Amino acid sequence: MTRETERLVELANEVGDRLAAAFKDAVPPSARDHLINAQKELIAAMVQIYEHQAAGGRPRRPEPKRRARTARGPRQPRVSKIDIH
């Protein structure tokens, strides 16, 4: 994990701690546990997204070279219409 990722996780934890302190009296304990688990999953997802973006995303494949059309005539349509009467 890079230093920037660690800082991102620290920030998310700090925000979570502040929100938990603000909602401590208003939110029942079972709901608090659920919110804490959701926070952990969100942080994990954010870390993966950030690391994917920092790594440059998917490597680009070079475009396949297209061959020039020969003098065979116009291309045949892939789908033909069927008259239904």
pTM of the model: 0.47
Q: Summarize pLDDT for 9-55 with one digit per residue, the tens.
A: 888 888 888 887 887 778 888 888 898 899 889 888 988 888 888 77
| Residues 10, 15, 37, 8, CA torsion sign | negative
Q: Which domain holds residue 37?
A: 3-54
User: According to the model, what pLDDT value does residue 21 have?
Assistant: 82
Q: Which is higher by pLDDT, 54 or 68?
A: 54
CB 20 within 8 A of CB 32: yes
Phi-psi region of 73 (alpha: psi -120 to 50; beta: other; left: phi over 0): left
Residue 15, in any domain of the structure: yes
User: According to the model, what pLDDT value does residue 41 have?
Assistant: 92
Residue 70, in any domain of the structure: no
User: According to the model, what pLDDT value does residue 82 have?
Assistant: 77
Residue 19, in any domain of the structure: yes
Phi, psi torsion values for 46, nearest 5 degrees:
-65, -40
Residue 11, in any domain of the structure: yes
Residue 69, pLDDT > 70, answer no
